[in-house]
Amino acid sequence: MVKKTDIIELEDVVVKFVGDSGDGMQLTGTIFSELAAFSGNDLATFPDFPAEIRAPHNTIAGVSGFQMHMGRRPIYTPGDMCDVLVAMNPASLRANIKWVKTGATIVVDENTFDEKAISKAGYQTNPLENGDLTDYNVIKAPISELTKKSLKDLNIDKKLAMRAKNMFVLGIILYLFERDLKRVLKLIEMRFAKLPEVVKVNKTALESGYRYAETIEGVKSRYRVNPAPMERGKYRNITGNVAAAWGLLAASEKSGRPLFLGSYPITPATEILMELAKHKSLGAKVFQAEDEIAGICSAIGASFAGSLAATTTSGPGFSLKSEAIGLAVITELPLVIVNVQRAGPSTGMPTKSEQSDLMQALYGRNGECPVIVMVASSPANCFHYVYMASKLAMEHMVPVVLLTDGYIGFGSELFKIPEVDQLPQINPPLAKPNEPGYKPYKRDEKTLARKWAIAGTEGLRHRVGGLEKTNIEGSVSTDPLNHQLMVKLREEKVNKVVDFIPEQTLVGEKSGDLLVIGWGGTEGALKSTVKRMQEENYKISLAQFNYIKPLPKNTRSILANFKKIIVCELNMGQFVNYLKINFQEFHYHQYNKVQGLPFHVNELTEVFKNLLEE
């Protein structure tokens, strides 16, 4: 018997799946997101998992989660507070309840709430019975038991049956959101094509969960999120790390320079290395080095031999690469260094995000050692900014540090698939074989870039290295005036890049009461907040920076047109200090958060409103 339910239409909704590390929450979340994308919603996702592969069972430390935000309007972040929480055990409920909106729906597996698990999670009494959850719509489902029951006829072992719990709960959620069951079954078939038994188990559990939700009284209403008005085109879902990897491949193809990646595994950047390792068919040469230093040094060697060379890392690895970045600066070779930032110092919190390394990217080397510094600001635009970093590195013969962070690296969103044909041209200044009058440090007038004379080319034999060289000729030199000239030239070369990057854009009017400034991965939260306040008629605008060194040409004129300026960062104020150095005439307010967590729209709104009232 099918019961009658209400349909509630929502503008946007945040759903979070949480459970023990082995409960399969990442898979459940990924499938649900793909479905939302197919259904035409805009979306953003974020996986939230512990550093340990399998932390102790049923503990807070072992909680793994996947959050997704979908809507019929543009979605910029994976969301702050959940409208729906799926909690597979007491520990995951306890760890996440503070991120759940009052009145939200909570689905729990009541079978896991036994005395032992409850106390392991740190509860004194059972939260399902002690009144803790009266403010929420709780669906207490015997998920473990029903999953087992539904699979009884398949005669499979208990362990495999229990692994299908996540599919049972996905079935419940699919019902709640009116999702097409057939489409999911197809997705599961595709994903486990080589494992027919797993397909059968998962399908059975999924259908049982769906039917269960259909019949029980606990589900009083269903939710509808209508398709978002999106620009026409072909889309896919993509994480920042995969987008970064693909951006390198695209830049390689476009420039005609083969791709070389020299990297060492490090959270949260490893996915770029793993992704590129798959693509040998595109000629990508991926070298998993013995350490971070060998990663960058091999890339510098490959650059000397004519590759688009890159190294990918995170904070601690970036520190280890410092000396070698200096080598790339003085040899004036193109190099892309991607730093997927994480919470520091030292090992810090590897799986947690932070805008930790801006100062290190700008200044963390011996000597006067300028590089281009850029930052991606969303999962999908990691593709664009890695592409642009590669273009600038090659065309200007200089290392580029591209910062991303764990939040956008692991996070995903919809990506409008570009055509390689339509991407900007990349024209590296290659020296021709036997080029008359070739000199290693002869420079282009506009860019000051020297020519890229690739090892192995006839008639261009020359030597480069870490010792200071004379300009033009490139001989080893300790001449005082030559050194000063070279220091200036290297700095000027980077500064001249300003003529080749776009002007800074604003979200909102060119003048007003408050200019919000951010950089990189905080874009989603800052944009959501500023747009919401603009709807409430606040005179507020956002400048979210992607080009840090050099800063866009119009930066000063933007800053001059607002009554107040606030710089928001997930660190103690690295960008605001950089702005203070460059534009000393302005007064800057700042808002800093260093918790390994992203900004939330509500907290930002409060900060901005308070500042406007001061």
Partner 1 sequence: MSEKKTEKSQNKLTKKDFISDQMVKWCPGCGSHAILASVHKVFSDIGFKKEDFCFVSGIGCSSRFPYYVNTYGFHGIHGRAAAIASGIKIANPNLSVWVATGDGDSMAIGGNHFIHLIRRNMDINVLLFNNQVYGLTKGQFSPTTPRGGITKTSPHGTIEHPFITAGLVMGAQGNFFARCLDNDVKMMTDIMYQSAKHNGTAITEILQNCVIYSDKAFANVAAKEIKDEAQLRLEHGKPMIFGKYRDKGIVLSGNKLRVVNIGKNGVKKEDILVHDQYKKDPGIHRMLGRMHFPKYPIALGVIRSAPFNTYDQLMEEQIENEKKSSAIKCVDDLLNSGDTWEI
Report the first-to-last Cα separation within the chain, whole angstroms: 60
Rounded Cα distance between 27 and 258, Å, is: 34
285 strand-pairing partners:
260
Exposure of 360 in the CB half-sphere (CA atoms within 13 A): 25
Q: Residue 158 burial by CB count (10 A; 0-12/13-18/19+): exposed, middle or buried?
A: exposed
The verdict on 310 binding partner 1 (CB under 8 A) reads: no
375 strand-pairing partners:
403
Site string for partner 1, 388-427 (x = CB under 8 A): -----------------------------xxxxx------
If we measure between CA atoms, which residue out of 175, 162, 176, 159 comes closest to residue 205?
Answer: 162
Candidate residues 224, 462, 488, 563; the one interacting with partner 1 per rule CB under 8 A? 462
Nearer of residues 173 and 259 to partner 1, judged by Cβ: 259
CB 261 within 8 A of CB 386: no
CB 239 within 8 A of CB 274: no
Measured from the CB of residue 306, what is the shortest distance to partner 1 in angstroms? 6
Residues that contact partner 1, how many (by CB under 8 A): 69
The verdict on 115 binding partner 1 (CB under 8 A) reads: no
Candidate residues 5, 475, 495, 590; the one interacting with partner 1 per rule CB under 8 A? 475
Pair of tokens at residue 273? 């290395």
CB 514 within 8 A of CB 564: yes
For 54, 63, 93, 185, 315, the CA distances from 16, given in Å and listed in that order, are 20, 12, 11, 21, 28
Give the interface segment with partner 1, choosing from 160-168, 303-311, 491-499, 576-584 (CB under 8 A). Answer: 303-311
Give the interface segment with partner 1, choosing from 212-220, 319-327, 505-513, 565-573 (CB under 8 A). Answer: 319-327
CB 576 within 8 A of CB 569: yes
Candidate residues 70, 138, 327, 369; the one interacting with partner 1 per rule CB under 8 A? 327
Alpha carbon 20 to its chain's center: 24
The verdict on 31 binding partner 1 (CB under 8 A) reads: no
Give the E-state strand segments of 264-376 in sequence order.
Answer: 285-288, 308-313, 335-341, 372-375
Pair of tokens at residue 516? 């919000």
Give the interface segment with partner 1, choosing from 355-363, 424-432, 450-458, 584-592 (CB under 8 A). Answer: 450-458
The verdict on 364 binding partner 1 (CB under 8 A) reads: no
Pair of tokens at residue 351? 């799986």
Nearer of residues 219 and 376 to partner 1, judged by Cβ: 376
Candidate residues 52, 145, 291, 509; the one interacting with partner 1 per rule CB under 8 A? 291
Nearer of residues 56 and 227 to partner 1, judged by Cβ: 227
Give the interface segment with partner 1, choosing from 233-241, 341-349, 393-401, 554-562 (CB under 8 A). Answer: 233-241
Measured from the CB of residue 331, what is the shortest distance to partner 1 in angstroms? 8
Candidate residues 290, 479, 492, 509; the one interacting with partner 1 per rule CB under 8 A? 290
Query: In a 3-state reduction of DSSP, which class is residue 369?
Result: coil
Measured from the CB of residue 308, what is the shortest distance to partner 1 in angstroms? 10
DSSP category for residue 353: -
Q: Which residue has the tokens 């000729």?
A: 473
CB 586 within 8 A of CB 563: no
Measured from the CB of residue 330, what is the shortest distance to partner 1 in angstroms? 10
For 153, 159, 442, the CA distances from 200, given in Å and listed in that order, are 11, 15, 67
Site string for partner 1, 183-222 (x = CB under 8 A): ----x-----------------------------------
Candidate residues 324, 337, 371, 515; the one interacting with partner 1 per rule CB under 8 A? 324
Which stretches of the chain bind partner 1, using CB under 8 A? 34, 37-38, 40, 187, 230-237, 246, 249-250, 253, 258, 260, 262, 279-283, 285, 287, 289-291, 293-294, 297-307, 309, 323-324, 326-327, 331, 417-421, 455-467, 475-476
